Amino acid sequence: MILIPDVKRKKFGVFGLGVSGVATCEALAKSGAQVFSFDENRQARDKVADTEYRCEHPKNWPWKELEAVIVSPGVPLTHPKPHAIVRKAKLEKVAVIGDTELFARALNALEPRARPRVIGVTGSNGKSTTTALIGHVLKQAGEDAYVGGNIGEAVLSLPAFENDAIYVLELSSFQLDLTYSLRLDAAVFLNLSPDHIERHGSIDGYLDAKKRIFLNQTADDLAIIGVDDDYAQSVCTEMMARGPAAVRPVSAGSALGRGVYALEDKIYYNLDGKTSLAGDLSKARSLRGVHNQQNAAAAVAVCEKFGVDPALAVKSALRYEGLPHRIEEVGRNGKVLFINDSKATNADAAARALAAFTDIFWIAGGKPKEGGIESLLPLMDRVQTVYLIGEAAANFEAVLKDAVKCVHCGDLDKAVAAAAKDAAKSDAKNPVVLLSPACASYDQFKNFEERGRAFRDLVSELSATNGEAA
């Protein structure tokens, strides 16, 4: 656990008691602070009932004495309107921050020679895979690398700072909005597509939040930026012009005069005026698709800064096992392959999975997001049938019906059964049943993880019924 300096006997509010909220309470309490916590969910409040930071309604907090309020990343700061806790803090002139800001303050309190190296990764899509892949490559190279933030462990639950360690953090736009003093040795901005507009007010607000990953970087630091979409390309151009960090572009599909790029499954790098081949990713089953080639290029670009040869980085990437719910192979029933891509909660993410396969029996739908799925129409030549679930079903059919056969299934159980049956009967040599919803999950599931686990369980049951190993 990471302890927070200079908080002994000081008072803090913690609003939101999910994984990161509880870790924040624990870190502050162990650092000697007095913590006042609350969550609007009764079950969450019950989790801390027997602790020294047990819940107390914010109306009873000692607002005039609070140093700061640490809020869950999900708490709206500005849009669609500020949460009541944010309005109260502003009224009382109390700072509103996140757990990553406490991590940054603990980091900044260290002497320079005691400071570990820190990597941050953001982007609309691919940030979890890239974060995990960077951690994997660094560990394979013998580094003490710890991975957390928006993936895996809460940032304050990571091991106490070690000066020879590397901390690899996934950072969402919500987390970056609550972070002010974090300086990253390497900051990765992968891509940007319309998402979370309701939270940031506009695409420009969303982009501004993502760009905060470069705050506080110096000339000694590195900015790794994808250049495969217009938004990220503009960020790369801006960073190259204004610095101060060195900029290393990455791409999947375009050769670069400088940086790291992927072409036809091969990773190339040009960091000193000479282009070299780092290796071939064609056999990396956990890194299917062009988008994962961009993720791999970013990982190679980052790890080279920390002394890992690009060829070694690619060899390590071939041994990467992947993350759950991200183009995850979860079973095979006869000739039919089942892919769990439940993490694809927007059209851009779904496009990446659709582009990775052919003869697809696609399960899509859920809680619709702004932006729609019109951008997916050019990929429908890869899809044989779409099986629609959730609130988005009617809208999705209206968009897709002239391009591909659509079947209303309502829920995931019916969709898996129908898709599996049709795929097995099809003439396709290697049919794929793909769950890549292009939607949020919370119309029928608690989160995308629960949706992905449900899909995996249905595939296992299906395989067991038919006498196949899942």
Q: Residue 184: which residues within 8 A CB-CB, separation 6 or more?
A: 118, 119, 120, 213, 214, 216, 217, 221
The predicted pLDDT at position 359 comes to 98
The predicted pLDDT at position 466 comes to 65
Residue 436 annotated as binding site: no
- pLDDT tens readout for residues 292-344: 999 999 999 999 999 999 999 999 999 999 999 999 999 999 999 999 999 99
* Residue type present at position 424: A
Q: Residue 158: which residues within 8 A CB-CB, separation 6 or more?
A: 1, 2, 146, 148, 167
The predicted pLDDT at position 470 comes to 38
pLDDT band at 434 (very low <50, low <70, confident <90, very high): very high
- pLDDT tens readout for residues 179-212: 999 999 999 999 998 778 888 999 999 999 999 9
Residue 129 annotated as binding site: yes
The predicted pLDDT at position 17 comes to 96
Say how far apart CA 205 and CA 199 lie, in whole Å.
9
Residue 127 annotated as binding site: yes
> Rounded to whole angstroms, what are the CA distances from 423 to 223, 245, 330, 331, 334?
44, 50, 16, 14, 10
- pLDDT tens readout for residues 67-77: 999 999 999 99
- pLDDT tens readout for residues 270-287: 998 999 999 999 999 899
Say how far apart CA 152 and CA 147 lie, in whole Å.
7
* Residue type present at position 134: I
Beta strands in 141-245 (DSSP E): 144-149, 165-170, 186-189, 222-226
**How many other C-beta atoms can be found within 10 angstroms of the C-beta atom of residue 335?**
12
Residue 124 annotated as binding site: yes
Give residue 257's region: left, alpha or beta (phi > 0; psi -120 to 50).
alpha
Section 103-125 average pLDDT: 96
* Residue type present at position 59: K
pLDDT band at 467 (very low <50, low <70, confident <90, very high): low
The CA-CA-CA angle for residues 67, 72, 73, to 5°, reads 115
Residues in the chain: 470
The predicted pLDDT at position 68 comes to 98
Cβ-contact 161, 114 below 8 angstroms: yes
Q: How many CA atoms lie within 13 A of 163 on its CB side?
A: 7
Say how far apart CA 133 and CA 127 lie, in whole Å.
10
pLDDT above 70: residue 90: yes
Residue 125 annotated as binding site: yes
pLDDT above 70: residue 106: yes
Token output for 225: 């930026």
Say how far apart CA 78 and CA 345 lie, in whole Å.
23
DSSP symbols for 272-315: SS-EEEEEE-TT-GGG-SHHHHHHHHHHHHHHHHTT--HHHHHH
Which 3 state secondary structure label does DSSP give 331? strand
Say how far apart CA 385 and CA 381 lie, in whole Å.
10
- What is the rounded average pLDDT for all residues in the chain? 95
408 forms beta bridges with 388
Q: What is the maximal distance between C-alpha atoms in the chain?
A: 71
- pLDDT tens readout for residues 36-80: 999 999 999 999 999 999 899 999 999 999 999 999 999 999 999
* Residue type present at position 408: H
The predicted pLDDT at position 193 comes to 86
Q: Residue 143: which residues within 8 A CB-CB, separation 6 or more?
A: 165, 166, 306
**Residue 30, phi then psi, degrees to nearest 5:** -70, -20
Pick from 308, 311, 284: nearest CA to 295: 284
Say how far apart CA 260 and CA 212 lie, in whole Å.
23
DSSP symbols for 379-439: GGGGEEEEEEESTTHHHHHHHHTTTSEEEEEESHHHHHHHHHHHHHHSS-SS-EEEE--SS
Cβ-contact 11, 62 below 8 angstroms: yes
Section 392-416 average pLDDT: 97
The predicted pLDDT at position 185 comes to 98
Say how far apart CA 315 and CA 279 lie, in whole Å.
7
